[in-house]
C-alpha cells in the first residue's frame, strides 16, 4: 500500500492501529494492527514496512542528506510497477506486480555489488546472472523486490 501510494502521488500513508485491539481472529476490529494484541509480536505488515525503511539509503537527521528523490520506473509491462529512491547516500529500486497468480520474469542490467531482497529483507534466492543481466521473477503474493546497488 505504501509503495502504491507513493507511485500515485499520495503524500502520506496511515495505518489504523499500531497494535491489534483484541485477540479474536473472527472480529475484524481486533486485527488491524501491525503488532499482535498483548504480546506486541510484529505481524508481516510491520516487518514489510520495517524492511522498506531500513533499505532506504541514508536515514540521517540532516535533511540535505536524507531527502529522497523518488521517480517512477516505466517497466513497459502491464501490471508491473517500479520506483527508484535516490539521495546523496545512494539509491534503492523496488519492483512489484499486481498479478495475484503466476509470476512475471524480469531482466535488469547486472551491476557490480547489486543486491536483491524480498519484502522481508531476505536476499532473493532465485536470481540468475548471465550475459551482463540479472534475471528473477516477481510474484504478487510474495510482495515487492528491492534492488540495491
What is the structure's pLDDT at 88? Answer: 79
What is the structure's pLDDT at 18? Answer: 93
What is the structure's pLDDT at 149? Answer: 81
What is the structure's pLDDT at 65? Answer: 57
What is the structure's pLDDT at 71? Answer: 93
Domains of the chain by residue range: 2-52, 61-148
The CATH classification number of 61-148 equals 2.60.40.1180
Per-residue pLDDT of the chain (149 residues; tens, 9 = 90+): 889 998 999 988 788 899 999 999 999 999 999 999 999 999 999 999 999 988 886 655 555 556 788 999 999 888 999 999 988 778 899 999 988 888 999 999 998 788 999 999 999 988 999 999 999 999 988 999 999 98
What is the structure's pLDDT at 51? Answer: 94
Distance (Å, whole) CA 11 – CA 28 = 27
The mean pLDDT of the chain is: 89
What is the structure's pLDDT at 99? Answer: 86
Non-local CB neighbours of 145 within 8 Å, separated by 6+ positions: 94, 95, 96, 106, 116, 117, 118, 119, 124, 136, 138
- Show the 3-state SS of 68-117: CEEEECCCCCCCEEEEEEEECCEEEEEEEECCCCCCEEEEEECCCCCEEE
Amino acid at each position: 500500500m505504501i509503495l502504491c501510494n507513493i507511485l500515485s502521488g499520495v503524500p502520506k500513508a496511515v495505518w489504523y492501529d499500531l497494535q491489534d485491539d483484541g485477540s479474536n481472529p473472527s472480529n475484524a476490529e481486533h486485527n488491524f494492527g501491525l503488532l499482535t494484541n498483548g504480546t506486541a509480536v510484529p505481524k508481516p505488515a510491520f516487518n514489510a514496512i520495517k524492511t522498506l525503511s531500513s533499505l532506504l539509503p541514508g536515514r540521517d537527521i540532516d535533511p540535505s542528506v536524507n531527502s529522497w528523490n523518488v521517480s517512477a520506473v516505466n517497466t513497459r509491462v502491464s501490471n508491473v510497477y517500479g520506483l527508484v529512491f535516490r539521495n546523496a547516500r545512494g539509491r534503492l529500486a523496488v519492483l512489484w506486480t499486481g498479478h495475484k497468480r503466476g509470476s512475471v520474469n524480469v531482466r535488469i542490467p547486472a551491476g557490480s555489488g547489486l543486491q536483491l531482497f524480498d519484502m522481508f529483507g531476505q536476499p532473493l534466492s532465485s536470481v540468475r546472472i548471465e550475459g551482463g543481466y540479472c534475471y528473477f521473477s516477481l510474484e504478487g503474493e510474495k510482495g515487492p523486490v528491492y534492488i540495491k546497488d
